[in-house]
Structure 1
């Protein structure tokens, strides 16, 4: 007779899950009973936070939810940071955990891995957390999770199953999928009003965030019809190719783009939070929009945060651009859209740092289809503003949003599993690498051919700079730097150093054809002159 754990595996397969990240424990053994005979690949990280970051990178790269199996108690507190990053960036992640037996819950009697209320703790870093107290709830709760991933603002979902429920007989459970609802489309009256505002605009501007990541084709049809410049956040890099004459690139934090947003008579903002990390990286203060603001978001609560709109529309980005392109007459074309976009692009690039530009040019020229997962490190701060892509889901990082460290090693591994057809680089600093260096063992064990590119400036370089600027004596930032070559070799990685562009290109190319992971270390002094911005 099949158990709850076994039918759970079948349900996940039916929802299209092919990879699970998890560390088995005494409370989750029964979740694994049906895994070996399934088509789902299991990846074992060395820390539950690594499991969450792997799932995050997998989801960002593939566009499908990352899935984790996590142990009760400490496993959930360990993964909470990764869930926080995914929540801030609206990344679909399914975290399935065990929890103590139903009769033990809330007793406080010192049971193994016991938390007073595990679900309440995790609910603060998830779209919802649900405890399956009865076996027959499981199909409904899974359906609700995949509805969130596909038709609402996505994010982590936590499902916890008591140990005594995991082992219950479950032959009677229907393992077929529930139908997944479509995301919301805009109301016709809202579309008509938006069209009316845009038709009368003399200086319109389109601003897109990560919520528009699947809407590139529809956005381009509309933008070309309107002939309007497009500004994107980090999570929307490549939604429209950077080479397109209407695309500005850069960041909403750039002075040039902040000025343009203030001077535009109409701003159409789709799928963006207007958050500090996207629009105020240099701490210049909140953005100002003096003209009319049409704001579109799949999450209605988001429409009242940060910036007050003239028109608030609850809709999926793709559905919105389809409606706008359909209803906008050809006569609405703006004459100087491309000219404005190119002038704005040139102004943005005046901040460019040549040596960082050369570093990224080497990567792009050597691996044209590369996907980069970045951490909080100095070349990532440069990439935030100036590294651009021709396709979506080819660059992301943890420096914005929650801003966690240790992300890039496991996230790049997850991204490579999600997009095995692409070369994948995890770009990380020497300080952040020490948060998750153990995941090199996971990559070697699973033979994931990812490239870990380690930028070494012997400490916490950014915080060191902030301390110096604030005239605070350095404490805790000039940390001991281990020998990453020995560490990499000890874990079984192909490990090298590059001291110039030519060596970096050669080593990237060699790493891209290996069957396992590679670690390439570069010293900041060989590639840049300190922080990328004045």
Structure 2
């Protein structure tokens, strides 16, 4: 008999799912019945939160939804943090959970994994959360999920199936096949004409590229070069102009020189950015004042009405809108765009303190040594430096959890998922405090034989929070935490592990790590690396 659980796997395979992250449990084993022979790889994390972060990293590098099989009750509450991070950063993720059978679901009788209303928990951080009560619903609800991923603002979707439903006979259900997804919205031609007229009148335009522009690099570059417009890239928009492009400003919009660039513009084109405070007003100073005209391009009409009010809103897939606009504008005469961009870049770099400058140096060494690298960051000093000032070589190459929802413990599992999805050299960049949230995921990375590189930035505690407390006259408590022997722990998981004694050796160690079939942990002492960079730069 083919069960509904097996039919579910067939549906996922029909939609091109090639990897599932999950920890088998008695409430989900029926989902696993159809995995052998399906062509879908299963990755077992050590915690459901790790499964969610792996799915997030997989999705960010591939553009495809990360898929998870999760048990009812504690499985969903464990993965909730990862789903909320993905929700905040518009990352596609499909979380399929079991739930107690009708009659036991939300009964209050204390059945295993029972929540009063599990679906309502999922609704807080998803595009939608749906309980499948009839097997016939399954093809439609899976199609709805993939329609969100393909044609709307991508966000997690939660689907739950009662455990008794998973065991039913699926013989009478239609063949598992993919339904055509709706097309992405294209811009209104009249709005494009209006936008082109605004571009023609602009003397000092600036483009802001967010995560929604990740797949729009070519038309973004064409438009920027036609308008001679500097391109300010948010964290999730980095790489939309490659490192070294003269118009690129891969710097936080919250920094003074970048803010000044935006405020001096007579036209700002905001492409695929929500103007989130963690990007645009991290220091809570009010952010850049847009004194010129503002064009917003967003796939989500509600989001386009939040934040900065625009003079013109294009509700469209960002790539479609930029393509239409790039073909509608006449090239401007060469002006001061490159100089304006250079002034902003150099101004931001000059404002970095020694520790942040060391972090930026570290990231650039990684990028230049491994040009195709993916870097996944936690909340740590070098990650903050990357958020402020780091140029990725291409999109979907640099992301972190320090913006948006801002969770700790993200980088290690997210980097593992990114490597599984992309096959590219991948680096986890984490601090000694944050990595302890998900340190056991070294085991899942070793089990999957991933040549993952973990750069562990060690300042023996929660250094950023300690400095924050001291700056406000608060006696530091709870921040000088016990620091374990990370290298011994890593070796216990079967990983390579070493301390970076000479920072000039880092490029050779990075290259060697990519040749292994297991993770490599390289511990970096913050004080030593900062002193090395200071000596190098004078």
In the TM superposition, residue 159 of structure 1 has moved relative to its aligned partner by 0.5
Distance 1:188 1:31 in 2: 46
**Which residue number in structure 2 is paired with residue 297 of structure 1?**
298
Distance 2:319 2:85 in 1: 24
Distance 2:131 2:184 in 1: 26
In the TM superposition, residue 374 of structure 1 has moved relative to its aligned partner by 0.3
Contact in 2 for aligned 1:252/1:279 (Cα 8 Å) = yes
Among candidates 490, 496, 499, match of residue 498 of structure 2: 496
Give yes or no for the alignment of 1:144 onto 2:147: no
Distance 2:225 2:366 in 1: 31
Q: Secondary structure at the match of 2:186?
A: coil
Residues 314-393 of structure 1 mapped to structure 2, 5 A cutoff? 314-330=315-331, 332-333=332-333, 335-352=335-352, 353=354, 354-393=357-396
Among candidates 460, 466, 472, match of residue 468 of structure 2: 466
Distance 2:306 2:62 in 1: 29
Distance 1:85 1:529 in 2: 34
Contact in 2 for aligned 1:362/1:501 (Cα 8 Å) = no
Q: Secondary structure at the match of 1:67?
A: strand
In the TM superposition, residue 233 of structure 1 has moved relative to its aligned partner by 0.2
Q: Secondary structure at the match of 1:11?
A: helix
**Which residue number in structure 2 is paired with residue 401 of structure 1?**
404
Against the structure 1 CA distance between its residues 158 and 531, is the aligned structure 2 distance closer, same or farther, given a 3 Å change threshold? farther
Give yes or no for the alignment of 1:53 onto 2:56: no
Distance 1:531 1:166 in 2: 57
Q: Secondary structure at the match of 2:248?
A: coil
In the TM superposition, residue 344 of structure 1 has moved relative to its aligned partner by 2.6
Distance 2:307 2:532 in 1: 33
In the TM superposition, residue 334 of structure 1 has moved relative to its aligned partner by 6.1
Among candidates 416, 419, 435, match of residue 433 of structure 1: 435
Q: Secondary structure at the match of 1:403?
A: coil
In the TM superposition, residue 249 of structure 1 has moved relative to its aligned partner by 1.5
Contact in 2 for aligned 1:359/1:501 (Cα 8 Å) = no
In the TM superposition, residue 481 of structure 1 has moved relative to its aligned partner by 0.5
**Which residue number in structure 2 is paired with residue 232 of structure 1?**
233
Against the structure 1 CA distance between its residues 134 and 530, is the aligned structure 2 distance closer, same or farther, given a 3 Å change threshold? farther
Structure 2, unaligned runs of 5 or more: none
In the TM superposition, residue 531 of structure 1 has moved relative to its aligned partner by 13
In the TM superposition, residue 218 of structure 1 has moved relative to its aligned partner by 1.4
Residues 438-449 of structure 1 mapped to structure 2, 5 A cutoff? 438-449=440-451
Deviations 1:394-414, CA, capped at 9 Å, x for gaps:
111001110000001100100
Give yes or no for the alignment of 1:27 onto 2:30: no
Give yes or no for the alignment of 1:74 onto 2:74: yes
**Which residue number in structure 2 is paired with residue 153 of structure 1?**
153
In the TM superposition, residue 261 of structure 1 has moved relative to its aligned partner by 1.5
Distance 2:358 2:515 in 1: 27
Distance 1:491 1:479 in 2: 23
TM (normalized to structure 1)? Answer: 0.97
**Which residue number in structure 1 is paired with residue 258 of structure 2?**
257
In the TM superposition, residue 530 of structure 1 has moved relative to its aligned partner by 12
Runs (4 or more) in structure 1 with deviation over 4 Å come to: 529-532
Q: Secondary structure at the match of 2:83?
A: helix
Deviations 1:456-505, CA, capped at 9 Å, x for gaps:
10000110000110110111100010110111111111111102222322
Structure 1, unaligned runs of 5 or more: none
**Which residue number in structure 2 is paired with residue 414 of structure 1?**
417
**Which residue number in structure 1 is paired with residue 270 of structure 2?**
269
Deviations 1:180-215, CA, capped at 9 Å, x for gaps:
111101111111111111111111111110011010
> Over the residues paired in the alignment, what is the CA RMSD in angstroms?
1.6
**Which residue number in structure 2 is paired with residue 127 of structure 1?**
127
Contact in 2 for aligned 1:228/1:334 (Cα 8 Å) = no
Q: Secondary structure at the match of 2:433?
A: helix
In the TM superposition, residue 286 of structure 1 has moved relative to its aligned partner by 3.3
Distance 1:306 1:184 in 2: 22
Contact in 2 for aligned 1:416/1:450 (Cα 8 Å) = yes
TM (normalized to structure 2)? Answer: 0.96
Residues 85-104 of structure 1 mapped to structure 2, 5 A cutoff? 85-104=85-104
Deviations 1:363-414, CA, capped at 9 Å, x for gaps:
2333222211000000101111222112111111001110000001100100
Q: Secondary structure at the match of 2:522?
A: strand
Contact in 2 for aligned 1:133/1:162 (Cα 8 Å) = yes
Contact in 2 for aligned 1:202/1:334 (Cα 8 Å) = no
